Amino acid sequence: MTTTTSAPAGLIPPSEDPWRGFIPGSWMATVDVHDFIVCNYSPYEGDAQFLCGPTDKTTRLWNTLERQYLAHERRLRVYDVDTTTPADIDAFGVGYISEDDDVVVGLQTDVPLKRAMMPNGGWRMVETAISEAGHEHDPRIKEIFTTYRKTHNDAVFDIYTPRVTAARSAHLITGLPDAYGRGRIIGDYRRVALYGVDALIVDKERMKDAVAGQDFSEDWARYREEHSEQIKALRALIRMGARYGFDIARPAADAREAVQWTYLAYLAAIKSQDGAAMSIGRLSAFLDVYIARDLAAGALTETQAQELIDALVIKLRIVRFLRTKAYDQIFSGDPYWATWTDAGLGADGRTMVTRTSLRLLQSLRNLGPAPEPNITILWDEALPETFKDLCAAISVQTSSIQYVSDEHVRDHWGDDAAIACCVSPMRTGKQMQFFGARMNIAKTLLYAINGGRDEMTGSQVVEGFDPICSDEPLDYEQVWAAFDAMLTWVAQTYVEALNIIHYSHDKYAYEAIEMALHDSEIVRTLGCGIAGLSIVADSLSAIKYATVTPVRDDTGLVVDFTTEGTFPVYGNDDDRADEIAQLVVSTVMDRIRALPRYRNAVPTQSVLTITSNVVYGRATGSFPSGHRKGTPFSPGANPENGMDTHGMVASMLSVAKLDYADALDGISLTNTIMPSSLGHTERERVRNLVGILDAGFGSGLFHANINVLNRATLEDAMADPESYPNLTVRVSGYAVNFVKLTREQQLDVLSRTFHSSSWGPP
């Protein structure tokens, strides 16, 4: 791009300069949305009085969607599938919820909620999903993707090693993105609005040819090929926009276009990729600049501004991907993580809260609560008090938002970072993740004790490790050494699998449009994860502080434990137990850091389970902590269900002790507190929740997923789902419609700790 005080020549719409009135900065010379925002946004510290209710159009649109589509989908599971058109950016014609009322247009297919095939990930998943949705697959499409076109899934299984296959079958490593899109890549969709697609193509062509004079290497060739793919995707995006009647080759000229352009860019991503998490990024301050300009010029009213945000939110509520029922076990409730990150502070100390941040929250009132977009507030004590109160009020009313520490995110990833999926922060447009699901470290502990034999089947899965044979009480030092050794093996196997997966994904299911909306030189992280932290911490604590004796079956396999005496339990702000949890997390990270990684990715770790805590639990045995065979793990970094007996804040303080530097991909805590335990009045509940969040994040907590719910409400919803279509529950870094969970998942949510303060000790 050239340095000008207006948009590039030739892209300017006839009447108006799209950049009129904006404060100039380096954003005009290079693609730099962050600089544009810093130069132009207006922090908002006032109250919520200015907000508007839904327009008639909004209400009509939402009702149409609910009556004609969502109500049917809840009954059918899948509303419809297109079985003849492999998805792509420009694969379908236009589609509308209601042509008259759609303020922001664009659908993934031609009909709302109709799901598209994305066979580049693998044919078998597509075929299964079509069949489970009650449809027949098209044999011609099958022929293409099984005969002529190799898929990501094919490539992965061509490369997998025997130890990976063994660990995968034994559920030591689970949820790997080897048959579905990896996700957790956030295109900087704002770029399309600010610069227009033509300027982005020019930039990518320049970057592609910047290396043209260099010698051949495989990296060089991949760089050039990926740029070509990105440029083709950008051209397809222009075509897709044109079908809807927009010239998105040029920059957006007003707020309406800025919202529409940004959405079309995101739409291109969700039309061409079915990544597990397709997050939208950090839009509010950016869009607010356009809205503020139009409001000041009298070109837009507050009512229209709210209508625009509501319209965008409606679109983000109806993203759909074709998934199998087995996939639903890991990612329950049909989530897609259109995570919208908001608030936080800028590097200059100003709040990033704008009026549009409040408009986004208002959408939950105008449209009612819903799990998507996954609204994620970057919390800092220094956020405006009025905004903090509004967030807390919405949490108390709807449980629909989650909170992440702005300080951790800002310190590590800057003030334009967004959350992908549940808790994964990344610099927008400058960083992507190789998503890695997780390893089951609880099962790893049992493998350490059993010398690589599986506690459920008795079969020898891992060779070369001695079991602990003594029938004496377990010795902490001995168990720790065995655990560390087994953990090292599992980590090696796990990272090997991830390297294979991401090598194949880049090759056969490359996210061209998302990467086109990134810088050419980016940071890649390898997002490793763990499940079962609380079980390992409590079990090691039991071994250290109580007397734990193994119980063996007649083949010598340890299948249970007797634990005598008491022991400190993780989740009660007891340093003795919490230090063990810290040690486990830092040890896992050390083992991962030592391993070679695809594309030299920066190794990170998440302590997050999504909803796989149920399937992990089902595949795992009994523990010294008292955790029973086959029962769900607690979610993420949560203390064991029901074992955090010292109150919600104590539970937060324990989790806050885990060192974020060891888990840069996020540490997830999901808490449920009963409304009566937050206060007698609405005002008390709001102020007390604000206090709890300030206290938790002030103590170093990374994430707080807050439910304000009574158990009885959930029990009613299980008995009478029709009466609770919109009951939203936060499960683990995301929210779901409670009634869309499987019964087993619903029971899991019910078995979690409900923090109550019932005038007496627990």
Partner 1 sequence: MSTLSALPVTDQSALAIEGFDAPEHRLAGTGLAGLAETTLPREKRLEAMRVGELGSIHSWELSTAVDGPGTRLVVFLAGCPLRCLYCQNPDTLRMRDGQAVSAEDLLALVRRYRPVLAATGGGLTLSGGEVLMQPVFAARILAGAQAMGVHTAIDTSGFLGTACTEEMLANTDLVLLDVKSGIESTYTRVTGRALGPTLDFGRRVVAAGVELWIRFVLVPELTDAAENVEPVAAYAATLSTVTRVEVLPFHQMGRDKWATLGRPYALGDTSPPAPELTERVREQFRAHGLVTH
Active site residues: 421-422
**How many other CB atoms are found less than 10 A from the CB of residue 645?**
15
Task: Report the residue number, 334 or 644, with the smaller CB distance to partner 1.
Answer: 644
**Identified binder of partner 1 from the candidate list 684, 715, 720, 722, rule CB under 8 A:** 684
Cα four-point dihedral sign 448, 452, 455, 461: positive
What is the separation of C-alpha 394 from the centre of its chain, rounded to a whole number of angstroms? 21
Contacting range for partner 1; rule: CB under 8 A; set: 355-363, 434-442, 455-463, 679-687: 679-687
Which candidate, 459, 549, 530, places its Cα nearest to that of 491? 530
Half-sphere exposure of 379 (CA within 13 A, CB side): 32
Among 191-199, 277-285, 518-526, 562-570, the segment contacting partner 1 (CB under 8 A): 562-570
Q: Which is nearer to partner 1, 162 or 565 (CB)?
A: 565
Per-position DSSP letters for 99-151, written without gaps between them? TTT-SS---SSSSTTEEE--GGG-HHHHHHHHHHTT-PPPHHHHHIIIII---
Long-range contacts of 296-301 (CB under 8 A, 24+ apart): 299/254, 299/255, 300/254, 300/255, 300/256
757 binds partner 1 (CB under 8 A): yes
Instruction: Provide φ and ψ at 473, rounded to 5°.
Output: -55, 145
Query: Rg (Cα) of the chain, in Å, rounded?
Result: 26
Q: Which is nearer to partner 1, 183 or 647 (CB)?
A: 647
Least separation in angstroms between CB 758 and partner 1: 5
Nearer to partner 1, 555 or 758 (CB): 758
DSSP 3-state helix, strand, coil percentages of the chain (rounded to 5)? 45, 10, 40
Residue with tokens 């230090």: 579
H helix runs in 275-384, sequence order: 284-297, 302-316, 325-330, 355-366
Count of residues binding partner 1 (CB under 8 A)? 40
687 lies in the site for partner 1, by CB under 8 A? yes
What mask, x for binding partner 1 by CB under 8 A, covers residues 565 to 584? -x-xx--xxxxxx-------
**Long-range pairs, 131-137, Cβ under 8 A, ≥24:** 132/78, 132/324, 132/325, 133/77, 133/78, 133/81, 133/322, 134/78, 135/81, 135/83, 136/83, 137/83
Rounded-to-integer distance, Cα 613 and Cα 437, Å? 12
Q: Which is nearer to partner 1, 566 or 600 (CB)?
A: 566
Which one among 218, 681, 719, 743 touches partner 1, defined by CB under 8 A?
Answer: 681
- β-pairing, 670-673 vs 754-755, is parallel
- Window 627-646: contact mask with partner 1 (x via CB under 8 A): ------------------xx
CB of residue 545 vs partner 1: minimum separation in angstroms?
A: 11
Binding of partner 1 by 679 (CB under 8 A): yes
**Interface mask toward partner 1 for 520-559; x: CB under 8 A:** ----------------------------------------
Among residues 554, 680, 712, 719, the one that binds partner 1 under rule CB under 8 A: 680
Binding mask 595-624 for partner 1 (x = CB under 8 A): ------------------------------
List the x/- string, 323-362, binding to partner 1 by CB under 8 A. ----------------------------------------
Residue closer to partner 1 by CB (options 577, 727) is: 577
From candidates 699, 710, 713, 726, binder to partner 1 by CB under 8 A: 699
Q: Of 65, 249, 601, 678, which lies in the binding site for partner 1, with binding defined by CB under 8 A?
A: 678
Does 761 bind partner 1 (CB under 8 A)? Our answer is: yes
Give the pair of three-digit tokens for residue 620: 């795992």
68 is an interface residue for partner 1 by CB under 8 A = no
User: Which range of residues in 27-35, 166-174, 431-439, 564-572 is near partner 1 by CB under 8 A?
Assistant: 564-572
Q: Between 365 and 687, whose beta carbon lies closer to partner 1?
A: 687
Three-class SS of 226-295: HHHHHHHHHHHHHHHHHHCCCCCCCCCCCHHHHHHHHHHHHHHHHHHCCECCCCCECCHHHHHHHHHHHH
Query: Residue 397 interacts with partner 1 (CB under 8 A)?
Result: no
Among 43, 369, 698, 721, binds partner 1 (CB under 8 A): 698
Q: Closer to partner 1 by CB, 644 or 748: give it.
A: 644
Shortest Å distance, C-beta 706 to partner 1: 12
Q: How far is CA 595 from the centre of its chain?
A: 25
Nearest to 331 by CA among 441, 434, 437: 437
What gap in Å lies between CA 29 and CA 8, rounded to an integer? 10
- The residues in 365-384 that bind partner 1, with binding defined as CB under 8 A, are 381
In this chain, which stretch among 17-25, 52-60, 81-89, 647-655 interacts with partner 1, using CB under 8 A?
Answer: 647-655
List the structure tokens of 282.
């950090």
685 belongs to the binding site for partner 1 (CB under 8 A) = yes
Query: What is the Cα–Cα distance from 707 to 717, expressed in whole angstroms?
Result: 15
Residues 490, 174: Cα–Cα separation, whole Å: 12
When asked if residue 49 is in the footprint of partner 1 (CB under 8 A), the reply is no
Of positions 217, 555, 600, 758, contacts partner 1 by CB under 8 A: 758
The minimum distance between CB 732 and partner 1, in angstroms, equals 23
650 touches partner 1 by CB under 8 A:
yes
Tell me the three state secondary structure of residue 606.
strand
Report the C-alpha dihedral over residues 382, 735, 316, 340, rounded to 10 degrees: 20
Does 760 engage in binding with partner 1 (CB under 8 A)? yes
Q: Based on the shown chain and the rule CB under 8 A, indicate whether residue 712 belongs to the binding site for partner 1.
A: no
Q: Name the site residues for partner 1 (rule: CB under 8 A).
A: 381, 566, 568-569, 572-577, 645-650, 653, 673, 676-681, 684-685, 687-688, 691-692, 694-695, 698-699, 757-762
